[in-house]
Structure formats: C-alpha cells, structure tokens
Chain A
Amino acid sequence: MNFDLTDNQKLVRDMVRDFAEKELKEKAVEIDKTQEFPWDILKKMAELGLLGIVVPEEYGGAGMDFISLAIAVEEISRACASTGVIVAVNNSLTAYPIEHWGNEDQKKKYLPLLCKGEKIGAFGLTEPNAGSDAGSIESTARLEGDYYILNGTKRFITNGGEAGIFVVFALTNKELKHKGISAFIVEDGSEGFSKGKHEELMGIRATANCELIFEDCKVPKENLLGEEGMGFKIALGTIDVSRIDIGAQAVGISQGALEEAIKYSKERKQFGKPICEFEFIQGMIADMATKINAARLLVLRAAYIKDKGEKRFSLESAMAKWYASEVAVDVTRQSCQVHGGYGYTKDYPVERMFRDSKIMELYEGTSEIQKIVIARSLLR
C-alpha cells in the first residue's frame, strides 16, 4: 500500500499548479463573465503537453498515466472549472476513444491535431430526448457509397461551439436499438454539419456549450470508429474514463473553494477576532477538508486502477464521480457560507465556484445514474 505520488506525478502537479496560479486564476473571472472560449490559454497548454496527457508520444501526446491526467485536471479546475472541463473533454472524451478504438490512420490523422491544440475535441452523445437514457438516441447514420449520411441533433455539447473534431454517436441499425449505435469522427466544416443554439449556462460558462445539427451530413466511411454497432460500447468505455476526470474537476473546484474559505476566515474579523477562531467556522473547514480528501482518494484510486489495466473500473469511476460531485456542491456552498454576504457577490471567486459546481452532479451521468451504476455492479 502506497499513497505517495511518483516524482513525475508530483512534478506534473507542481507545474500545472504554477501555471494555473499565474495564467488561469484571473482569466477564470473574465471568461465566466464573457463566456469567451480560452483559446490563448489552450495554446499555451498544448505546448506544455496538457491537451494530450495520456496520448502516446508517437501521436503527439505526452504518454503519461491517468493519475497524471487526473492531477492536471484537478489543478486546472482549482483555478478555473471551465478550462478544467475543456481539457478533460479534449483528453478523455475525444483523444481517448480515438486512441483506444481508432485505427492507425485515424490516430495519425486526428490525435496530433488534438494534442497540439490545433483542433479541440468534443463528444456528441447526448440528444434532446436522450440524456440519462443514452441508449435511446435517435440520430441516424446510413452508408451511401463512400460516406455515412448522418441526421439528428446533439444537445449540451461541451466545447461544441469551438471544437474541430467530434466523436459522434448515431444509429446505423434502428432495430438493434443501443446495439445498433455506431461512433464516428466528424470534422467541423463537414457538409451538412452545423452548430445550433449556444447554451448560456449557470456555471462553466466559457465552455462553448452548444447544439450540433446533422442534416444529411456527409462523413467519410473511413471515419467510422471501431465497427458498426460498437458505438454504445465505445460510449460507455469512454465515459468510464472521463468520469475519473470529472471527479478530478470536482475535487479541484472544491480545493479552490476550501482555500478561499481558509484565507477569508483568517482575514475577516467579527466580534473582535478573525472568524476562523469561531468553532462553527472551524467545523465547516474541517468538514470541507475531510470530504475533499476522501473525494481525491476515490478519484486517484479509480485512475490507479485504470493505469494498472487489470480490471474494469466502472464501479470505481462512478463512485469517484458521484462522491466528488456532491462534495463539490457541498464544499462550495459551505465556502460561500464562510464568506457570509460577501460570498454572494462577484467580489469573491466562491460565488462562481458555487455555480460551477452544480454541473458536476449533472453531466457525465447524473448522481442518480452513478448510483445505478454502483448498485448494479454490487447486485450483479
């Protein structure tokens, strides 16, 4: 049993923390207001290897482990939750399925673009009528000559408005239901592909969340990911991985909120002393710190199991994602409470962190879906 990070993992943490402190903390305030997608930051991150952390070096990535990816997402999210999820989606929802299920040509063509930040990735699964029930998607794809013709609408797509490479799911065989789902790599600019409504979100506001519209969209047949009918398996396998990073994002937001609470409670004086000397405040800080520690351990353990590669980790990644999400909402709420009335203003970052945290319980599977995954795994 060993809880220590390796030297390399520690260096990744220190580097990303330093980067996030200097480059992201102020930017987070600005892009929360403007909803501007942080391209300038992403270019810098690409140079540091943060957009393809687990992608093998031969495809332009850094070839590191999933623990390092989780650490990086946590540290980025500690400063800016929007940037945290943009990076997570690029790494684990786009590069990962292409790297894991793609053929050599697909990997050579698309992974370097994603790693270098020349194109950002997005994941098109959710539809207006298929959220938690992801197997019920209605988008279709039919093979005509050298192309698959895609029709349908995707909803709530993180990075959607700015992404250049999409992993999109559509039915190639309706009769087979979820077993008839296939996955495709779709490039922005494909004929018949357009971006729809931009969603104005409560939190993670700089993530270019939008609708994707496919109207007889032509996708070259060589862009089928895996084989026809493998789509649902690819989707679930990908989400198992990305849930670790959403958990890491939640831990990062929580850690940021805790640090703000500690700082404020030492500065703010009431009744003649800093409020950190009051037991109610101390209780909140102890509660926040302990829950964050537990959430982080769940996240890192899920990443550790993935790195070992010996067994499925759906259970562990669902536990990590669920618990860390609930902790994020709880901790950011408590951090606002420590700040009193000031925590309800935009003068302090906890107001944004509180808003950013809510999505954690919703995307990559709601908390309720995580519990179903966990329970099914145990009751099998």
Chain B
Amino acid sequence: MNIAVCIKRVPETAEAAVNIDSSEKHIIPDQLVFDINEADNYALEEALLLREKTEGDITLFTVGSKESDEVIKMGLAKGATRGVRITPENLDNLDAYAVAKLLAEQVKEGNFDLILTGCISSDVGNSQVGVTLAELLGIPHATLVIKMGIEDGFATVQRELEGGLLEELKIKLPALFTIQTGINEPRYASILGIKRAAQKELRVIENITAEGMKAEVVKMYYPPVGKMAEILEGGVEEVSGKLCEILKGKGLL
C-alpha cells in the first residue's frame, strides 16, 4: 500500500510572542521556533504504523520554502520513503485552495491508496487543504479521524463528533483522511534513521506559479485590548462562588 502524507512547517506560537511585519500580512519569523504541524505529525505516525503492517512506500509532500526541508528530512529520518517539496514563486500569498491544487497536481501522479493530512494547521487553521485535495482528486474523505484500520481495499475509520459521540465509517480506497491529534503516539527519529535519511530522495518542484487563489489576506492584527470589566457583587462566599463558575466556564479551572 502506498501512502502520501501532506505535512507543513509551522511556527510554534503557543508560548511565543508573535509580531506582525510592516506589510500587516505576515508574522515576523525571526525569533520563532518552527516544527512540523502537530496534527501532521500524528498523520505521519499513522502512516508509519500502517506501513509496519503492510508493504509499501510513504511519500511526504509539503508546500513551503526551502526551510520546509527540515520537516521533510525529519519525516524521512522517522521512516518515510521519499519527500517532495513544492515551492511556487508566489509562495507568500497562497490560500488553502491554491495549496490543495499544488498538492493535487503532484499527488495524482503517485497512484496512492491512502492520503493522510493533519486535521488542522496550527498557524492559519483553515482545515481546508485536506478536504479540498480530496475533492480535486475525486476521492472520498473523512475528517477528524481518531482511529483507522485498513482491510481488503476499505478503510474503517472512527470520527469524533460533538458531545462525545463517535461515528464509524467504512470507506473504499483510495481515500483521504484528515487525522486528529492524539490518535497515536508520534515517535522520535533515531540517530540511525537520521543517517539513513541523508540517502533518501527529496524532490524539489520550483519555477511554478500557484493559480486559482480565491481568498487574499487583507490584514493581520491583534484585536484592541478590551476594557470591559464585570463587577461581582455580594459577600465573600457568594463572590468567590461566582468567580469559580466564570473561571470554570472559560476552562481555566
């Protein structure tokens, strides 16, 4: 079984201060640490686990700058077979549709049984590339997959719905799944794996222009700091009770 995994290099912004450049359309990357998008890391691990059970290749695809080679190489070190980096000349202005279109043009050549992506990117968070790619390829898809099994040309996948409800689907391959975080425990590359990765193929596709953009970033900004305050009235016990309720409601307790 041949598997394609689409991954993306993203800044880690959970604890870092993120600043916007003078164009007001991009963040300033200088002080940020970049890594593979979290959900994509789970998608990669799912592919590696599947490959341990069946024969076949894993091809990694990314749309990004030369720096994205880092995440491709780490994926190769973990055990993927080859990597493809797509770097269009208008890389800075892509929307999710354009990214999916660039990926589709390469992925369709590969005759893949299964295509995995993360369910969401931690930087722009559209959750669009995976499903759009499936549509462009004309294959079925399922999103937010938390469990996956393959048998006789079909995939059985579990999806997480609202309110703790689970849904199980049987889908004919080839298909595309967007993988939810937590589905597995992503491995670390071994040092031997890192050594082996240096010999693996990393194909670079450049000198192309992405087309078909449907959305354009007009502006990135921080919302103005609000001045709203809610004054809690009552005795100490009553006020502290109300405060606890508010904090619980916001998920802070």
Question: C-beta contact mask, B188-200 vs A, less than 8 Å → 1, else 0?
Answer: 1111101101100
Enumerate chain B residues within 8 angstroms of A18, measured Cβ to Cβ.
35, 188
Stretch in B47-55, B69-77, B110-118, B149-157 touching the partner: B69-77
Question: CB of A63 within 8 A of chain B?
Answer: yes
Are A7's CB and B73's CB within 8 A?
yes
Question: C-beta contact mask, A296-328 vs B, less than 8 Å → 1, else 0?
Answer: 000000000000000000000000000000000
Are A64's CB and B191's CB within 8 A?
yes
Q: Which of A7, A10, A19, A62 contacts B192 (CB 8 A)?
A: A62
Q: Which of B17, B191, B197 contacts A49 (CB 8 A)?
A: B191
Whole-angstrom distance between the Cβ of A152 and the nearest chain B Cβ? 37
Q: In the complex, how many residue pairs between chain A and chain B have their CB atoms under 8 Å apart?
A: 49
Whole-angstrom distance between the Cβ of B219 and the nearest chain A Cβ? 27
Are A10's CB and B70's CB within 8 A?
yes
Are B77's CB and A15's CB within 8 A?
yes
Q: How far is the CA of A365 from the CA of B196 in the complex (A)?
A: 37
Q: Which of A7, A47, A266 contacts B198 (CB 8 A)?
A: A7
Are B77's CB and A11's CB within 8 A?
yes
Question: C-beta contact mask, A32-76 vs B, less than 8 Å → 1, else 0?
Answer: 000000000000000111100100010000111000100000000
Are A53's CB and B191's CB within 8 A?
yes
Enumerate chain B residues within 8 angstroms of A68, measured Cβ to Cβ.
191
Are B190's CB and A48's CB within 8 A?
yes
Chain B 57-77 residues near chain A, CB threshold 8 A: 70, 73-74, 77
Q: How far is the CA of A14 from the CA of B195 in the complex (A)?
A: 14
Enumerate chain B residues within 8 angstroms of A8, measured Cβ to Cβ.
194-195, 197-198
Question: CB of A374 within 8 A of chain B?
Answer: no
Q: How far is the CA of A19 from the CA of B189 in the complex (A)?
A: 10
Question: CB of A201 within 8 A of chain B?
Answer: no
Chain A 66-103 residues near chain B, CB threshold 8 A: 68
Closest to B15 in A: A263
Number of interface residues of A (CB under 8 A): 20
Enumerate chain A residues within 8 angstroms of B198, measured Cβ to Cβ.
7-8
Q: Which of B74, B77, B188 contacts A19 (CB 8 A)?
A: B188
Are B195's CB and A63's CB within 8 A?
yes
Chain B 196-225 residues near chain A, CB threshold 8 A: 197-198
Are B190's CB and A11's CB within 8 A?
no
Q: How far is the CA of A57 from the CA of B192 in the complex (A)?
A: 9
Are A11's CB and B192's CB within 8 A?
no
Question: CB of A29 within 8 A of chain B?
Answer: no
Q: How far is the CA of A57 from the CA of B193 in the complex (A)?
A: 12
Whole-angstrom distance between the Cβ of A300 and the nearest chain B Cβ? 18
Q: How far is the CA of A10 from the CA of B69 in the complex (A)?
A: 12
Enumerate chain B residues within 8 angstroms of A266, measured Cβ to Cβ.
17
Q: How far is the CA of A50 from the CA of B197 in the complex (A)?
A: 17
Given the known inter-chain contacts A7-B73, A10-B70, please indicate yes or no for A15 contacting B189, CB distance below 8 A: yes
Enumerate chain B residues within 8 angstroms of A62, measured Cβ to Cβ.
190-192, 195
Question: CB of A12 within 8 A of chain B?
Answer: yes
Q: How far is the CA of A7 from the CA of B194 in the complex (A)?
A: 9
Given the known inter-chain contacts A7-B198, A8-B198, please indicate yes or no for A14 contacting B70, CB distance below 8 A: yes
Chain B 2-47 residues near chain A, CB threshold 8 A: 17, 35
Closest to A19 in B: B188
Given the known inter-chain contacts A8-B194, A62-B195, please indicate yes or no for A15 contacting B73, CB distance below 8 A: no
Are A11's CB and B73's CB within 8 A?
yes
Q: How far is the CA of A233 from the CA of B198 in the complex (A)?
A: 37
Are B188's CB and A11's CB within 8 A?
no
Enumerate chain B residues within 8 angstroms of A64, measured Cβ to Cβ.
191, 195
Are B190's CB and A47's CB within 8 A?
yes
Are B73's CB and A49's CB within 8 A?
no
Q: Which of A7, A10, A48 contacts B191 (CB 8 A)?
A: A48
Q: How far is the CA of A206 from the CA of B35 in the complex (A)?
A: 31
Q: How far is the CA of A63 from the CA of B193 in the complex (A)?
A: 12
Q: How far is the CA of A49 from the CA of B196 in the complex (A)?
A: 13
29 contacts between A and B (CB under 8 A): A7-B73, A8-B198, A10-B70, A11-B70, A11-B73, A11-B77, A11-B189, A11-B197, A12-B191, A12-B194, A15-B74, A15-B77, A15-B188, A15-B191, A47-B190, A48-B188, A48-B189, A48-B190, A48-B191, A49-B190, A49-B192, A53-B191, A57-B192, A62-B191, A62-B192, A62-B195, A63-B195, A68-B191, A266-B17
Seen from chain B, the residues whose Cβ lies within 8 Å of a Cβ on chain A are: 17, 35, 70, 73-74, 77, 188-192, 194-195, 197-198
Seen from chain A, the residues whose Cβ lies within 8 Å of a Cβ on chain B are: 7-8, 10-12, 14-15, 18-19, 47-50, 53, 57, 62-64, 68, 266
